[in-house]
Amino acid sequence: MPVNIMPPEHEKLNYVEFPANNLLATKAFFGQVFNWQFQDYSPRYIAFTHAGLDGGFYQSHACSHSAQGAALLVFYSHHLERSLDKIKAAGGVITKPIFDFPGGRRFHFTEPSGNEFAVWSRVA
């Protein structure tokens, strides 16, 4: 696990890891869409920074989906439709189109390795 510049806070979330069946495609996707930075630690593990929470992807045939009981990580966007367009252009798949919920709007997507994420925005 990489060392953060700021010391970790006691008993606070510090790092998250995801499975990925295609590390190169996943790395390219998150770099293009969200400007994440990556460190390759081995052919089976890459770490990311500049994501709001540091983490990594490990080589696996599994993927993370909320319908299977996995936690859903949700990005915030000032421009929901622009974020949706960027995700689609980079090869993401929209799994739940934009919908309203109390206080905002959001959509769900999967990245090239099949992991599910969501993006939300406040109601204007």
Tens of pLDDT along 65-102?
A: 999 999 999 999 999 999 999 999 999 999 999 999 99
Helical ranges in the chain per DSSP H: 23-34, 80-89
Tokens of 6: 């700021």
The per-residue pLDDT for 8 is: 81
Strand order, beta sheet including 73-76: 73-76, 116-122, 104-110, 93-101
Beta bridge partners of 17: 56
pLDDT in tens, 14-65: 999 999 999 999 999 999 999 999 999 999 999 999 999 999 999 999 999 9
